[in-house]
Amino acid sequence: MKRFLLLAALCCAMFSTTTRAQQTGGSLTGHVDDSHGHAVPNANIVVRADGKFVANTMTDGGGNFIFSGAEGTYDLTISHQGLETLTAPQRAFMAGKPSQFKLVGELSRLIDPLMVVGPASSATIGGGPLPLPTFVAAQANRKPWVYGLLVQGGVGLQDRTDFNFLMIGGHAGKVLTPEIGKGLFKGNAEYAIEVFPFWQSITPKFQRISCAANVINPSQCTAPYTVGGRFTGASVTPIILRWNYTHGRRLMPWIQAAGGVVWTDHKYPAIGGLNYLDPTQTGPAADTSVWNFTPQGGIGVHYFVAPRRSIDFSANGVHISSASIGDKNPGVNSSVQFSVGYSWWK
């Protein structure tokens, strides 16, 4: 009987201890990606507290891992066979309930900061709340390719306020340098091109006539016909030099200078009039060109919605000129055009 009571007391004590451990324990589940967003299986996760080894685990075939332990603050180190080791700058805090985190790092090169993404209530850094994910920092030194889709539109300025523009196309860029500089001005340099298969400008309509050279009689001119209106074409900007500012967390502003060319389905912009005595408007040398050049400059910003995804906004000042390829070069001295887009960082 005494032996039975002793065994029962021991079982009760073990159950009580287990219950308290469950009440004060927690678990951290996570997922390990490489810089391209692919799951990394068989990555080794080492957990330490105050520099002392606590436990280690491995990611499964889908890059997932789980660690259970008492409440506390832990340092995580991720490594993979044949690849360099990364140590998370954040310290994971084990709350009393499971917390979801995502560890994103460039495992093949020590250039990406490792990011912990999760509820701020379930993580601490030196006792403070977990900061917002540093998505910008993850791209600052990678020198990635950037691909995007964008829509751009705007209006003419000065004497072209009745000109409207709309274009749809894409952006392809390559970051050429690692992060350079310090403070608010640090950043990297990017070279890019933009192609707009759809380019449109809507202009005022008006009447004009065409006359022979040295005409002295209006009967030698054509009947009035309508010009202006809608112009459709395509545009390419093969030279974009951009500086990305990388001091932010989710916002990456930029400035740029660029140059391109646009082709239209008929000569742009339209000129002419009904005065047959003005050969500059009605004579045989009174035309523009279907080709125009587009020197421009602008500012913009990427807003990262994920480690390698951003929504983009920009404002550009664009000059349109034929460089006198046609007889006349009225052009569009200045226009302001705004764009919105979405980019993938590879």
Encode pLDDT of 149-174 as tens digits.
999 999 999 999 999 999 999 999 99
DSSP string for residues in 226-262:
EEEEEEEEEEEEEEEEEEEE--SSSEEEEEEEEEEEE
Domain that holds residue 301: 145-345
3-state secondary structure of 294: coil
Which pLDDT does position 64 carry in this prediction?
74
Which pLDDT does position 73 carry in this prediction?
67
Query: In this structure, how many other beta carbons lie within 10 angstroms of the beta carbon of residue 286?
Result: 19
What's the residue count for the chain?
A: 346
Indicate if 190 and 252 belong to the same structural domain: yes
Which pLDDT does position 94 carry in this prediction?
44
3-state secondary structure of 6: helix
Which pLDDT does position 93 carry in this prediction?
46
Indicate if 187 and 297 belong to the same structural domain: yes
CA–CA distance, 256 with 154 (Å, rounded to integer): 18
Indicate if 197 and 69 belong to the same structural domain: no
Indicate if 80 and 149 belong to the same structural domain: no
Q: What is the CATH number of the domain that holds 212?
A: 2.40.160.20
**Are 316 and 298 spatial neighbours (Cβ–Cβ below 8 Å)?**
yes
Contacts of 198 (CB under 8 A, 6+ apart): 166, 167, 168, 169, 232, 234
**Are 337 and 150 spatial neighbours (Cβ–Cβ below 8 Å)?**
no
Indicate if 67 and 120 belong to the same structural domain: yes
User: Comparing C-alpha atoms, which of 107, 197, 100 is closest to residue 150?
Assistant: 197
Indicate if 318 and 207 belong to the same structural domain: yes
Indicate if 179 and 258 belong to the same structural domain: yes
- Pick out the chain residues at pLDDT < 50: 1-24, 82, 84, 87-133
**Are 80 and 53 spatial neighbours (Cβ–Cβ below 8 Å)?**
no
270 in a structural domain: yes
Which pLDDT does position 303 carry in this prediction?
96
Q: What is the CATH number of the domain that holds 36?
A: 2.60.40.1120
CA distances in angstroms from 316 to 155, 200, 213, 298, 313, listed in the order given: 11, 16, 41, 4, 10
165 in a structural domain: yes
Indicate if 114 and 231 belong to the same structural domain: no
Which pLDDT does position 46 carry in this prediction?
76
Indicate if 293 and 335 belong to the same structural domain: yes
Which pLDDT does position 257 carry in this prediction?
98
159 in a structural domain: yes
Indicate if 331 and 293 belong to the same structural domain: yes
Domain boundary among 64, 96, 131: 131
Indicate if 103 and 172 belong to the same structural domain: no
Q: Give me the number of domains the chain comprises.
A: 2
